[in-house]
Amino acid sequence: MLILAIVPSLILLFAVWKFDTVEKEPIGLLAKLFLGGALTILSAQLIGFLGEKLLRVFCKDVYELEYIFVFAFFLVGLIEEAGKFVVLKLLTWKNKEFNYTFDGVVYAAMVSLGFATIENIVYVIVNGSNASLMRVLLQAPAHLIYGIFMGYFYGLARLNKGLGDEKKVRMRLLEALFVPAVMHGFYVFCLGTEKKVFFILFVIYEIVITAFTVWHFLKLSKEDKLIPGMEFTIDWDDDEQEGTDESKV
């Protein structure tokens, strides 16, 4: 079971890296993002634990829809996605490698899969033979979907930064945080209610959102855009150096 907790993330990591066709990102940066995402499990667990203690002061019955709603959307969805977002922005926003819009998708995917991997490992270790196979297999794909949406808006924010449109930068960054947080919260809420109607809604939602995300991911990969002000300075310097060497001959 422990192997199954890791393998889906590795497969998805390779798939994301493979579709970054214009310019591959440095392995070192991707590794930092993956590890950074994995470490956010600590903040998510701590804040989630404290938040749940506070929530139980106001909601005594953990099976009430109000309790499940707050728990799913705020103590899981918002807290976990906020942690990923902070790591993403700290490590990449001013990084010179962030020169194409699709880079945002790649970066966010690495952070999300880092979180999903360590969360899966912890879940399997804690639950042992009682661990749900469905949860183990769905965890990484679900987090990747949130990451792709986060990365899409994050890439647009960086594009607007290059264009000098600060108003759109702020709007896109907010979307990069809250859209995946709502998606994540909805996922947890539907399963947390343990009601048939919400489970059916969850299945329909997963089929639709997965198909849309795959289509959108492939589209973004093909329509990658260079961010203004982030031209290939390294390649330019190399060409300039070669010209200088030739002039000396």
pLDDT band of 15, cuts 50, 70, 90: very high
Q: Average pLDDT, stretch 69-74?
A: 96
Mean pLDDT of the chain: 91
| CA-closest candidate to residue 145, choices 178, 196, 185, 183 | 183
pLDDT tens-place string over residues 31-59? 999 999 999 999 999 999 999 999 998 88
pLDDT at 216: 96
Taking phi over 0 as left and psi of -120 to 50 as alpha, with beta for the rest, 232 belongs to beta
**Furthest-apart CA pair in the chain: how many Å?**
83
Domain boundaries, the chain: 2-243
CA–CA dist 105, 102 (Å, integer): 5
Q: Average pLDDT, stretch 120-139?
A: 89
pLDDT at 232: 54
Residue appearing with tokens 């945002």: 104
pLDDT tens-place string over residues 205-246? 999 999 999 999 999 999 999 999 876 544 544 444 444 444
Residues 6+ apart with CB under 8 A from 154: 88, 89, 104, 105, 107, 108, 172, 173, 176
Residue 134 burial by Cβ neighbours in a 10 Å radius (0-12, 13-18, 19+)? exposed
